[in-house]
């Protein structure tokens, strides 16, 4: 199977352009990367993956941020704000409380628009320019639309975003609005929005920048590269496990691809590959179901609900790339209830790390796996927090303290705080 961790490095087909090509993960067919617009395989409709004749080693990287990793990407530079180079926080109290040997938080909320989606967009919008397309579009639970709007604006291109009406956090819509996206609120859920935008893309109306677009995942690979480099620099080793929220499973797929390419180049020993561990909300957990039942395919959940709106997704499009990643790395997947997500959001906030609900699922999932003994107390773990606290102010208000009205008078304020 082409997605094995230890598959031999691919050799470039005649369709390759400068050592880069697209390959179908199902039937193996290859395509030239930039001569035509395609999102899936012409023959079998399978997912496509970007392949390189020359997979990168750590020595190939220089500079900072996503474009430090140009040797692992299809271009030398992109439409940049700039993105990446996010903090890997120490959280000593939370580490002791969860009960692992080491816990660090990779806070992707510190990207320019406040989520990791920026890493995908800097590459995706660059590819859109290469292809010469006019209008960019996505379906979104919010953060993809914020990133697309900002990077589209930066690149001087028009953007169209389809959102599930009433189910997108306020901060995210505000971003899309101000960065001048046309915002279409669909009377349906995220999966319905994605169906429609795929139809629009198939009719040539828009260039699709959801994570079905294989170039988005190239940019998101750099999360893995940053984690590996920084963790090794700080601790002399790689993390045993990376725990992350799962929506469309783009990041899970991207991290796995990052590891596979490093193994192919000889830069990473297969034994050192971190266990990819996905977390979903109980109300939207089709990936967890597939892992628990040992299925190769996802059953689409028609009705999904969770406070973690960024991962309120019932049909993770990248599952065929992500399931092998979880299995081949020895990882797992776990579902968490909304109350535990909010508790984890507060626990991160108590360490000064402000995240939106979906991001806190990584900590909530790690806690569950510790309680079940799936994660050992001697493990070194990185949890990914995918989006910033300010993305979802309503959730933050609901989880946090209430403001207390006081009179306009010092004595009265003193009396009030003494209560
Ligand atoms: C997009 C998003 C996710 C889901 O990521 P996938 O790559 O689709 O699994 C999780 N958290 C936040 C905050 C997001 O914006
Ligand atoms: Zn195919």
Average pLDDT over residues 126-140: 96
In angstroms, what is the span from residue 386 Cα to ligand 1's centroid? 6
> Across the strands, what pairs with 161?
138, 183
* Residue among 111, 251, 254, 341 whose CB has most ligand 1 atoms within 8 A, to mutate: 251
Name the fold adopted by 88-114+214-399.
Rossmann fold (3.40.50)
Whether 361 contacts 341, CB under 8 Å: yes
pLDDT for residue 337: 98
Q: How confident is the model at residue 8 (pLDDT cuts 50, 70, 90)?
A: confident
The answer to whether the beta carbons of residues 3 and 328 sit under 8 Å apart is yes
Q: Is the pLDDT of residue 10 over 90?
A: no
7 band by pLDDT with thresholds 50, 70 and 90: confident
CATH number of 117-208: 3.40.50.1100
Structural Rg of the chain based on CA atoms: 21
Asked if residue 335 lies in contact with residue 281, where contact means CB atoms within 8 angstroms, the answer is: yes
Of ligand 1's listed atoms, the one at least distance from the Cα of 143 is 15
Of 115, 118, 217, best ligand 1 pocket probe by most atoms within 8 Å of the beta carbon? 115
Sign of CA dihedral 129, 119, 355, 370: positive
Residue 42, token pair as written in the block: 């012409």
Q: Is 82 helix (H, G, I), strand (E, B) or coil?
A: coil
Of 204, 214, 198, 206, nearest in space to 21 by CA: 214
350, 360, 329: which is closest to 400 by C-alpha?
350
Q: Name, in order, each residue with C-beta under 8 angstroms of 77's C-beta and a sequence gap of 6 or more.
A: 67, 70, 126
Which token pair is 268?
């990473």
pLDDT at position 397 is: 97
The residues pairing with 20 across neighbouring beta strands, listed in sequence order, are: 17, 52
98, two tokens: 């969860």
Distance CA 297, CA 41 (A): 18
Ligand 1 center–CA 416 separation, angstroms = 42
324 phi/psi in degrees, rounded to 5? -60, -35
Q: Which two tokens stand for residue 392?
A: 């979802």
User: If DSSP codes are grouped into helix, strand and coil, which group holds residue 89?
Assistant: strand
Cα distance between residue 134 and residue 199, in whole Å: 17
Are 325 and 332 within 8 A, CB to CB? no
pLDDT for the residue numbered 9: 83
Q: Which atom of ligand 1 is nearest to the CA of 391?
A: 13
Domain ranges of the chain: 88-114+214-399, 117-208
Please give the backbone phi and psi of residue 137, each rounded to the nearest 5 degrees, phi first. -150, 155
Q: For residue 12, count other CB atoms closer than 10 A to its CB.
A: 16
Locate tokens 């959280």: which residue? 91
Cis amide linkage into residue 335, ω under 30° from 0: no
pLDDT in tens, 317-350: 999 999 999 999 999 999 999 999 999 999 999 9
Strands (DSSP E) contained in 282-416 are: 332-336, 380-385
Burial class (CB in 10 A: 0-12, 13-18, 19+), 374: middle
Average pLDDT, the chain: 97
pLDDT digits (tens, 9 = 90+) for 260-284: 999 999 999 999 999 999 999 999 9
Whether residue 280 has its Cβ less than 6 Å from ligand 1: no
Structure tokens at 150: 């900002």
> Helices in 81-189 by DSSP H: which ranges?
92-98, 117-131, 143-154, 170-178
The length of the chain is 419
189-213 pLDDT, tens per residue? 999 999 999 999 999 999 999 999 9
Given a contact cutoff of 8 angstroms between Cβ atoms, the answer to whether 343 and 365 are in contact is no
Q: Which two tokens stand for residue 407?
A: 């009179």
**Any ligand 1 atom below 6 A from CB of 395:** no
Nearest ligand to the CA of 42 is: 2
* Mean pLDDT for the stretch of residues 392-413: 97
């Amino acid at each position: 199977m082409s997605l094995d961790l230890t598959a031999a490095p691919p050799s470039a087909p005649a369709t390759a352009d400068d050592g880069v090509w697209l390959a179908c993960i199902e039937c193996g067919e290859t395509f030239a990367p930039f001569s035509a617009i395609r999102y899936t395989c012409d023959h079998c409709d399978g997912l496509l993956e970007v392949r390189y004749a020359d997979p990168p080693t750590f020595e190939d990287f220089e500079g900072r941020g996503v474009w430090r990793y140009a040797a692992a990407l299809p271009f030398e530079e992109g439409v940049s704000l700039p993105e990446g180079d996010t903090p890997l926080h120490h959280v000593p109290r939370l580490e002791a409380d969860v009960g692992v040997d080491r816990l660090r938080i990779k806070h992707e909320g510190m990207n320019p628009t406040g989520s990791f989606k920026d890493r995908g967009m800097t590459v995706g919008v660059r590819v859109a320019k290469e292809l010469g397309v006019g209008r960019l579009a996505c379906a979104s639970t919010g953060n993809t639309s914020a990133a697309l709007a900002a990077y589209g604006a930066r690149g001087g291109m028009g953007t169209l975003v389809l959102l599930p009406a009433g189910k997108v956090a306020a901060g995210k819509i505000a971003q899309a609005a101000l960065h001048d996206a046309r915002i279409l609120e669909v009377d349906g859920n995220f999966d319905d929005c994605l169906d429609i935008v795929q139809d629009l893309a198939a009719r040539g109306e828009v260039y699709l920048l959801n994570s079905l677009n294989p170039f988005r995942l190239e940019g998101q690979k750099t999360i893995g590269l940053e984690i590996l480099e920084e963790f090794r620099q700080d601790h002399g080793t790689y993390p045993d496990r990376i725990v992350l929220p799962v929506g469309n499973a783009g990041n899970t797929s991207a991290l796995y691809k990052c590891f596979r390419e490093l193994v192919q180049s000889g830069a990473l020993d297969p034994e050192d590959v971190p266990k990819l561990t996905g977390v979903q909300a109980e109300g939207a957990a089709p990936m967890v179901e597939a892992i628990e039942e040992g299925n190769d395919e996802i059953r689409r959940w028609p009705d999904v609900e969770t406070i973690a709106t960024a991962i309120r997704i019932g049909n993770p499009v990248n599952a065929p790339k992500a399931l092998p990643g979880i299995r081949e790395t020895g990882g797992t997947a776990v579902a968490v209830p909304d109350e535990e997500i909010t508790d984890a959001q507060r626990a991160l906030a108590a360490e000064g790390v402000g995240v939106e609900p979906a991001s806190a699922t990584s900590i909530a999932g790690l806690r569950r796996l510790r309680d079940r003994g799936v994660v050992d107390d001697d493990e070194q773990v990185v949890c990914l927090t995918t989006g910033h606290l300010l993305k979802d102010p309503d959730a933050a208000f609901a989880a946090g303290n209430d403001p207390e009205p006081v009179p306009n008078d010092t004595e009265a304020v003193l009396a009030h705080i003494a209560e």
